[in-house]
Amino acid sequence: MSSEELHLLAIESGFCTRKSKLLPEVFFDLMFYASSQSHNSSLESLVSYLYSTYGIDIKRQSLDERFKEKTVNFVKTVLKRLICEQLPDMLISEDFLKEYNHVRIKDSTTFKVPANLSEHYPGNGGGLAGITIQFEFDLKTGKFLDLTVTEASRNDQTDSNETIDNICKNDLILRDMGYFSIEVLKAIERKEAFYLFRLPARTTVYDENGMEIDFKKLQIVMSEKKIDKLDKNVFIGKEKYPCRLIIWLVPPCVYQERVRRKRKEEKKRGRQTKEETIVRLHFNLFVTNADDEKLPAEKIMPLYRFRWQVELMFKNWKSLFSIHKLQKMKEERYITMLYTRLILIVIDLQIINKVQSQISKHGGGILSYQKTLQTLKNNFLEILNILRNDLEIAIKQLEKIYLTLSKNHWREKRKYRENFIENIDIFICISEK
């Protein structure tokens, strides 16, 4: 983004209303510098950086006064522009899940924030103040489809209802049970799109004859007959909404671990674990409106495992960029710093996606997001040069990054762990048939 573009966005958002030595591009460079640090940056360190790098002498109080609502609007506008202007490219292969327009994977992360933010960012679950980040991306291209910062009291189901209009025809939506509601499933169908959701334990299921399915009896039958998977047309909920249900019986050791974790979780919340919930822990239950030809039952579990990529991304955002550990400061400065970290993450991931696309076209492997994000974070000045210099210099910097990332930043295959690479190979092979 050029200095001219930043100036226009600064004027549009009200950040820049008069001449100032703290130009929009200098302000962003300062915020990027702070976001690249593994520790929180004090006002003192920021004014020191301004003086040593740009010769700008400014007092801490004067800098602190620059953080106001218009500043927050400025960084929000920049983030929105970056997301809108992404250049989509196939991450892996043209044949990867080519049956769908987008494969939309969405999840959220929630964390506590300083109590002084409670007015605009109320917490949930007894927390005084908290923030939720909703993140959605297209598995086929890596493109960001949604990146929204909200109060923690706004839950996933509310987000699911309020973002239906973002879904396009022939999209495939992969989400966990937190986003589930029958109204959302109906809305997705009206959009002529497809869904794959985990089924919550509280949802009643009826067979094709309208009789409620007894999952305790079903577990006994499947165990005795050594059946590990069922694919049934069913009705769910009070309104008996028709859909396809895929049932996997989990091994006893997995069931016991689930029960242990669930009871511990419920005890922490001061609640008793319901018997029906314990029974349902025997199963992996998925609902979809895609038929067996569009989405074969044996491929549903490998496909759903891709959803874990969002949780791994959140883990990296927290460990590398400390999005959840900003120190206590006034609200406008806090939110500005958070959005700047997200902007830096968006830029880094776009670079990674572009490199991955080029590597895939030349028959290369799959990049590790953790390794590549760490390298890009450590090479903050190179990223800044790409953003600030002309096209020729930017291309040279990108070529240097490409060579670095294509050497030793591969995702490794691990025994007894989810194998992302093999999952991708499965769906490329399906598409080529």
Q: What pLDDT, in 10s, does the model give residues 209-226?
A: 999 999 999 999 999 999
Q: What angle do CA 125, 131, 136 make, to 5 degrees?
A: 110
CB atoms within 10 A of CB 77: 19
Q: For the CA atoms of 393, 397, 398, 401, what is the dihedral angle to 10 degrees?
A: 180
Q: Residue 193's pLDDT is what?
A: 97
User: What's the token pair of residue 32?
Assistant: 């990027």
CB atoms within 10 A of CB 49: 17
Rounded to a whole number of angstroms, the CA Rg of the chain reads 24
Domain count, the chain: 1
Dihedrals phi, psi of 287, to nearest 5 degrees: -115, 145
User: What's the token pair of residue 430?
Assistant: 């399906």
Residue 295 CA to its chain's centroid (Å): 23
| DSSP E strand boundaries for 251-371 | 283-288
Which range among 12-21, 177-186, 262-271 shows the weakest confidence by mean pLDDT? Answer: 12-21
Q: What pLDDT, in 10s, does the model give residues 366-394?
A: 888 888 888 888 877 777 777 766 667 77
Q: What pLDDT, in 10s, does the model give residues 249-297?
A: 999 999 999 999 999 988 887 888 888 889 999 999 999 999 999 999 9
**Domain residue limits at 235:** 177-306
Q: Is 274 contained in some domain?
A: yes
Spatial contact of 228 and 173, defined as CB atoms under 8 Å apart = no
Decide if pLDDT at 95 tops 60.
yes
Q: Is 71 contained in some domain?
A: no
Helix (H, G, I), strand (E, B) or coil at 221: helix
First to last CA, the chain: 42
Say if strands 103-112 and 144-151 run parallel, antiparallel, or are unpaired: unpaired
Burial 339-366 (b: 16+ CB within 10 A, else e): bbbbbbbbbbbbbbbbbbbebbeeeeeb
Element (H, E) at 405: helix 391-408
Q: Is 276 contained in some domain?
A: yes
Spatial contact of 377 and 323, defined as CB atoms under 8 Å apart = no
Spatial contact of 430 and 95, defined as CB atoms under 8 Å apart = no
Q: Is 219 contained in some domain?
A: yes
Burial class (CB in 10 A: 0-12, 13-18, 19+), 173: buried
Q: What pLDDT, in 10s, does the model give residues 32-61?
A: 888 887 677 899 999 999 999 999 999 999
Burial 201-238 (b: 16+ CB within 10 A, else e): bebebbeeeeeebebeebbeebeeeeeeeeeeebbbbe
Record the pTM.
0.87
Q: Is 141 contained in some domain?
A: no
In the chain, % of residues over pLDDT 90: 52
Q: What pLDDT, in 10s, does the model give residues 333-344?
A: 999 999 999 998
Q: Is 266 contained in some domain?
A: yes
Q: Is 81 contained in some domain?
A: no
